[in-house]
Chain A
Amino acid sequence: MTDWTIASLAAAIRGRRISSVEAVQECLARVARLDGRLRAFITVDADGALARARALEVEAAAGRWRGPLHGVPLAHKDLFHIGGLPTSCGTKTAEYFFAERDATAVSRLVEAGANTLGKLNMAELALGPFGDNAHHGDAQNPWRAGHVSGGSSSGSGVAVAAGLALGALGTDTGGSIRLPAACCGIVGLKPTYGRVSRAGAMPLSWAMDHIGPMARTVADVALMLEVIAGPDPADTTSSAREVPGYLAELERPPAGLRVALPENYYLDGVSAEVAAATRHALAAFERLGARVASIRLPDPQVIHDVSSIIARAESSAVHSRVLRERPHELQPAVRARLAVGTRIPAHDYLQALRLRARLARDFNEEVFAEADLLILPAIPEPAPTLADATAGEGETIAARMGRFSRLTRPWNGLGLPVLALPCGFAASGLPLGLQIVGRPFDEATVLRAGHAYEGATEWHRRRPSLD
C-alpha cells in the first residue's frame, strides 16, 4: 500500500489488477499492525469499509463505476460528520459534534467512489499545531517516533504518510493542513476561502476555516480537490465560481511563471536547514524555466495578528459552552487558547474583520502585480520532539504553538490558495515543507507549479521505515 497513489490505485482497480476489497483489506491490515504506535485513527470502521468495498466490487463487476475514486480507501479528520460514526473533534466527548447531514466534502468523495476507512486523530478542537492529544493519544511522526506529527489534522498527515489510507481530508484555520503535511512529508492544500464547502464540518473560526485534501502527490491532491470543490447550497460562504479542470492543467510546464521568495518575515528565525531547502526550491523553479525573484511583502505580522484576533474570538464563541461548563475536560493549552478569545473586545474583533478586507485587497493588487506565485517555508524547523513541544504550563505551550504556525497563519487571513509539499529532509531524517501561494481561486497554477517541482525532485518518493 505504500507504493500506491490514489491515481495508480484507482487505475489498477479499473484495470482489475486489484479489487476494492483487497485494497481495503491491505489498508486495514496496516492499521492493525501500525496504528497502536502511530495513533492516526480515533475510529476505524473496518466492518463498514469492507461491506462498502464488497458493494463497490459488485458494481464494478456489473460495469458500473461511480467515479474517479472507485474503491480507493480514504479516511478523514474526526470533525467531519459521517452518519453512523461518532465525531469527537479530538475531545474527551465521543459525540462532541453532530450535523443534520454528512459533510459535503466527504459525500462528494463517496459519490466519486471513495471508501471511508474511519475517522482520524486531531488536536483537541483543532486547536494546536503539534498533534498531541491527551484523550486519544499523541499522533506520532512516522519518520521519527517521539516527534510531533503537526496539527491540527495530525492523524490525516500520519495516516497518509504511513500508508494507512491513500488520502485524507483535513481542515486549516491557521495551518492545520499544511503543518502536518510538512511534518509528515506529504502534500496538503489549503484552497481559497470559499472554494470547498464547509457544511457538515465542525467550525472553529467561520472566517478562517478551510477544508482541503492531503495525499502523497500533487496529482492526488488535484484529483481530490476537483471532486470536492464547487458551490454548495448548504454552505452560503461557498463560492459560485466554476471549478476548472485541475488535472488537465497539471502537465502545463511552469516556464515563464513569475515565482518570488519573500525577503521579509518568512525566513526570519527559521533553521538553517529550512532556509537552505527553501532557497534550493527557488533554484529548482529557475531550472524549470520560471522567472524567479525576491519580493518584499506588506508586513505579514499585521495580517498574522488580525487573523489571530478573528480566529481566537470566533473559536471562543463556537466552543463557549464547553469552556464555561466543562473546562476541566480540556487540555491546559487548549483551555488557554480559548481563554484568550474571551478577552478580545468586540471592538477589536469588528475592526479586525474590516482591516482584513483592506489587507487582502491591497496584498492582491500589490503582490500579484509582481509575481504569479510565492514560495516560502511551511515550518520554521523540523518537527520538534513531543516532549519539547508540550513542556510547561498551558500558556507557555500556547505561545510555542503560535510560533510554530507563524508561517502558515497569515494565509488564512488572506484567504489565498496554498500548497504544502516536501522540499527536503533535515539531517535528523525529518521532512521539510515548502508552501506555494497563488492568486485567489487560482489553485490550478499553484498545483501545476507544485507538480512540476515534485517531478524535478525525489522527496515525495521517500517513505518512512515502519515495518
Chain B
Amino acid sequence: MSGPARPDGRPDPARAEVAGMAAVIERAEADLSLVEEPARFAAALDAGAPDERAPFRSSAPRSTTR
C-alpha cells in the first residue's frame, strides 16, 4: 500500500495513513479462516451477552393514564 508521492514530491498523507491502518490486515489475513465472515460479528455479540432471562423487565411505561 505504499503509494506514490504527490506531484510536489512530498509524501501523500492519505496513502500513508491507509498503509498504516492496512498493516494490521496484512499481518492477520494469512491466518483468517473461511469461517470468519462479517456476519459472525453479530454472533460474537450475542455469544458474549449475559443470560437473556433477565430478572427485570422495562419499568418505564410507554404510555400511562391516571
Chain A residues in the interface with B (C-beta under 8 A)? 63-68, 108, 111-112, 192-194, 207, 223, 226-227, 239, 241-249, 301-302, 305-306, 308-309, 312, 336, 339-340, 343-345, 348, 350-358, 360-361, 364-365, 368, 395, 399, 415, 439-442, 444-445
Contacts and interface: CB of A to CB of B under 8 A. Distances in A.
B9 interface: no
A356 B43 CA distance: 12
A223 B45 CA distance: 23
A40 B40 CA distance: 39
| 9 interchain residue pairs of minimum CB distance | A364-B48, A245-B56, A353-B38, A357-B40, A361-B44, A441-B49, A440-B45, A360-B44, A244-B54
B62 A415 contact: no
Interface of B: 1, 3, 13-15, 17-18, 20-25, 28-29, 32, 36-50, 52, 54, 56-66
A67 B64 CA distance: 6
B65 A65 contact: yes
Interface centre among B59, B61, B66 (most CB of A within 10 A): B59
Nearest to A302: B24
A440 B65 contact: no
B37 A357 contact: yes
B18 A245 contact: no
A309 B21 contact: yes
Given A351-B25, A357-B37, A440-B49, 12 more contacts: A65-B64, A68-B60, A242-B52, A249-B56, A343-B14, A345-B1, A348-B25, A354-B36, A355-B25, A357-B39, A360-B44, A440-B45
Contact of A227 (B45, B56, B60): B60
A358 B36 contact: yes
Contacts of A356: 38, 41
A464 B50 CA distance: 39
Nearest to A222: B60
B48 A368 contact: yes
